[in-house]
């Protein structure tokens, strides 16, 4: 049967994923976590790039635990100074086997005291053994050295003695936080020669119980006496096996990455990433349109269409009066031709500024968007969402004004019939003028005693001049009233069309400046969570 289980990603791939998460989370996740993760990536990259397959094993422990004597027993030398009542290891010391010391590696570790043991023993050729200062030293520099090297070495060996193997400083400060590194840790109960067999078994059992309770069940526990040599051979064989396997460094960094990825994943959160609700977006669009003056422009379009339609189709005797009134859209500096605009005024209108009520409604809608987008989102990401949602108010105002000013209101179409009505109105007006002159001229000439014989011309039983006057007046008024009905209907159509176009333009600005930046942050969070899941 085919095994469908996925293989875990390689160490290099995990580092790549972790670096991608950092790029996504930087400026949003906790800075201390970001810095620690950054340092781990750098440390792992540097360590894995160093030539050679050396395995670095550190001997650590409290004052008097026997680290130095253990080092001497393992190396069959007296390289480490041994003390009884005070710490004698003030600086880390490295011992390596072979013909050449791993200079690059030791430089990276920052270990200056170095010893090379020339040997043909292939089992120890790639082993580097470090004797660390006491982790409970009163010297701050000693403890800092221990803390630094604990982060860098491939394998940790904790030397404990029968009196202090349960020391809280060791368990709380080092062992418990390194639970993920159990596979590359060993706890050695030194000075086992001081204990009777039953007491030794009890101490080992108690130590095992403590470690298991702290999630360190994979940590190997063994007893040894650096003084009598008991257990030294087994301990040396364990180190030789680790050196031969050449996997300690990768195991170590795999655990480091898993631990730091867990910390980062916890900071990123695990709840569902919020989805922007359509009603919330509609509220932002609507309130932004109100603040941008869209209702004023829509009303201006309706009034302008009526104004222009009345000028074109109304009775000429009264329509000229309308020319004294300003065009509603031109008063708002909307729909102007390029010749009427200065280059710097292309995107400027004369719309009134948003009222305090409109600004309050807009602020409330943006706040609703932020609350919707930050529900269950980590604090750092929520702060970032708030920042991008507020954006640059001045830029938003300018863009809204430019969007409104640049919207095609389609005022130049849909009025072809006006031309025909205008022609008819002027014909009717001409009939009125001709009929009026036909009536007035004979009267005026008669008053001036100038004889003029005007023939009587009847139309439909009425004098032609009266028909012309009455037809010009009645026809012009009736045609004007009928045209007004169609103009008003067209004004409603134009207003609705303008509102749709203006809302589209405003929504585009709202999306660009508010909605999309928020959505991008949510997508960034989702991507970070998905990527960190690949690391774990």
> For residue 367, what pLDDT is reported?
92
Rounded Cα–Cα distance for residues 377 and 368 (Å): 15
Tokens, residue 235:
């301990």
Is-contact 509 404, C-beta < 8 A? no
The per-residue pLDDT for range 344-398, each reduced to its tens digit, is 444 456 777 878 888 889 889 999 999 999 998 999 999 999 999 987 777 888 8
Residue 520 has pLDDT above 80, yes or no: yes
DSSP codes of every residue in 231-286 = THHHHHHHHHHHHHHT-HHHHHHHHHHHHHHHHHHHHH--SPPP---HHHHHHHHH
Rounded Cα–Cα distance for residues 328 and 92 (Å): 86
Higher pLDDT, 121 or 83: 121
> For residue 168, what pLDDT is reported?
86
Rounded Cα–Cα distance for residues 310 and 227 (Å): 114
| For the ranges 116-120, 166-170, 445-449, the one whose mean pLDDT is highest | 166-170
Enumerate residues 6+ apart whose C-beta is below 8 A from 324: none
The per-residue pLDDT for range 43-97, each reduced to its tens digit, is 998 988 887 788 999 999 888 888 888 988 888 888 776 654 444 557 899 999 8
With tokens 């007004």, the residue in question is 484
Count how many Cα atoms sit within 13 Å of the Cα of residue 280 in the half-sphere of its side chain.
18
Query: Where does the pLDDT of residue 181 fall: very low under 50, low under 70, confident under 90, or very high at 90 and above?
Result: confident
Is-contact 284 75, C-beta < 8 A? no
Is-contact 314 325, C-beta < 8 A? no
Q: At what angle do helices 294-313 and 464-510 cross, to 10 degrees?
A: 160
Higher pLDDT, 452 or 109: 109
Is-contact 445 452, C-beta < 8 A? yes
Mean per-residue pLDDT over the chain, rounded: 86
Tokens, residue 105:
């590696």
DSSP 80: S
| For the ranges 38-42, 179-183, 445-449, the one whose mean pLDDT is highest | 38-42
Is-contact 429 320, C-beta < 8 A? no
When pLDDT is averaged across residues 412-430 and rounded to a whole number, the result is: 89
The per-residue pLDDT for range 200-255, each reduced to its tens digit, is 999 999 999 999 999 999 999 999 998 899 999 999 999 988 888 888 888 888 88
Rounded Cα–Cα distance for residues 236 and 71 (Å): 10
Rounded Cα–Cα distance for residues 393 and 467 (Å): 66
DSSP 515: I
Query: Where does the pLDDT of residue 341 fall: very low under 50, low under 70, confident under 90, or very high at 90 and above?
Result: very low
Rounded Cα–Cα distance for residues 47 and 254 (Å): 13
Decide: helix, strand or coil at residue 451.
coil
Higher pLDDT, 30 or 457: 30
Is-contact 365 490, C-beta < 8 A? no
With tokens 């603040």, the residue in question is 291
Percentage, residues of the chain above pLDDT 70:
93
When pLDDT is averaged across residues 142-159 and rounded to a whole number, the result is: 90
How much is the pTM?
A: 0.75
CA 352 to chain centre: 35
> For residue 286, what pLDDT is reported?
94
Cross-strand bridge partners of residue 116: 96
Residue 422, H or E segment: helix 416-447
> For residue 120, what pLDDT is reported?
60
What CATH class is the domain 54-245? alpha beta
When pLDDT is averaged across residues 96-109 and rounded to a whole number, the result is: 89
- Residue range(s) occupied by CATH 3.40.50.300 in the chain: 54-245
Residue 504 has pLDDT above 80, yes or no: yes
When pLDDT is averaged across residues 439-456 and rounded to a whole number, the result is: 75
> For residue 84, what pLDDT is reported?
47
Tokens, residue 44:
């792992």
When pLDDT is averaged across residues 446-474 and rounded to a whole number, the result is: 80
Query: Where does the pLDDT of residue 339 fall: very low under 50, low under 70, confident under 90, or very high at 90 and above?
Result: very low
Q: 113-117, 118-122, 424-428: lowest mean pLDDT where?
A: 118-122
Residue 443, H or E segment: helix 416-447
Query: Where does the pLDDT of residue 27 fall: very low under 50, low under 70, confident under 90, or very high at 90 and above?
Result: very high
Residue 515 has pLDDT above 90, yes or no: yes
Q: Would you mind telling me the total number of residues written for the chain in this entry?
A: 536
């Amino acid at each position: 049967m085919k095994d469908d289980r996925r293989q875990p990603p390689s160490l290099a791939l995990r580092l790549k994923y972790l670096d991608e998460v950092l790029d996504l989370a930087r400026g949003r996740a906790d800075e201390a976590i970001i810095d620690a993760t950054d340092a781990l990536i750098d440390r792992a990259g540097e360590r894995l790039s160093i030539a050679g397959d050396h395995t670095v094993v550190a001997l650590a422990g409290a004052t008097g635990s026997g680290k130095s004597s253990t080092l001497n027993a393992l190396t069959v030398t007296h390289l480490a100074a041994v003390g009884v009542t005070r710490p004698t290891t003030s600086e880390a010391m490295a011992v390596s086997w072979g013909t050449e010391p791993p200079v690059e590696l030791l430089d990276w570790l920052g270990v200056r005291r170095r010893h090379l043991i020339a040997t043909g023993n292939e089992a120890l050729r790639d082993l580097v053994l470090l004797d660390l200062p006491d982790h409970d030293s009163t010297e701050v520099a000693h403890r800092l050295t221990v803390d630094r090297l604990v982060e860098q070495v491939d394998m940790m060996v904790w030397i404990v003695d029968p009196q202090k193997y349960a020391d809280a400083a060791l368990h709380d400060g080092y062992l418990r936080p390194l639970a993920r590194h159990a596979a590359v840790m060993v706890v050695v109960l030194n000075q086992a020669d001081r204990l009777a067999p039953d007491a030794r078994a009890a101490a080992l059992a108690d130590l095992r119980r403590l470690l298991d309770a702290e999630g360190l069940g994979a940590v190997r526990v063994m007893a040894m006496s650096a003084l009598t040599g008991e257990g030294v051979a087994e301990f040396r064989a364990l180190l030789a096996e680790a050196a031969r396997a050449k996997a300690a460094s990768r195991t170590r960094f795999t655990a480091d990455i898993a631990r730091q990825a867990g910390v980062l994943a916890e900071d990123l959160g695990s709840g569902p990433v919020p989805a922007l609700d359509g009603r919330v977006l509609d509220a932002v669009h609507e309130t932004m349109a109100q603040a941008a003056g869209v209702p004023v422009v829509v009303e201006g379009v309706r009034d302008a269409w009526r104004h222009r339609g009345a000028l074109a189709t109304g009775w000429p005797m009264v329509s000229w009066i309308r020319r004294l009134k300003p065009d509603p859209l031109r008063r708002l500096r909307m729909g102007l031709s390029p010749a009427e605009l200065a280059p710097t005024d292309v995107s400027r209108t004369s719309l009134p500024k948003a009222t305090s009520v409109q600004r309050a409604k807009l602020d409330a809608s943006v706040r609703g968007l932020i609350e919707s987008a930050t529900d269950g989102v980590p604090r750092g990401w929520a702060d970032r969402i708030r920042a991008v949602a507020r954006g640059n108010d001045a830029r938003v105002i300018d863009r809204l004004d430019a969007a409104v000013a640049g919207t095609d209101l389609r005022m130049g179409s849909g009025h072809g019939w006006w031309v025909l009505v205008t022609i008819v109105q002027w014909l009717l007006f001409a009939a009125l003028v001709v009929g009026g002159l036909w009536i007035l001229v004979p009267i005026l000439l008669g008053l001036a005693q100038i004889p003029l014989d005007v023939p009587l011309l009847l139309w439909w039983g009425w004098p032609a001049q009266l028909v012309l006057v009455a037809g010009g007046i009645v026809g012009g008024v009736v045609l004007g009233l009928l045209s007004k009905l169609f103009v008003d209907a067209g004004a409603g159509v134009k207003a609705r069309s303008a509102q749709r176009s203006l809302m589209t333009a405003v929504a585009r600005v709202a999306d660009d400046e508010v909605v999309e930046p928020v959505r991008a942050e949510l997508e960034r969070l989702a991507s970070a969570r998905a990527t960190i899941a690949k690391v774990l």
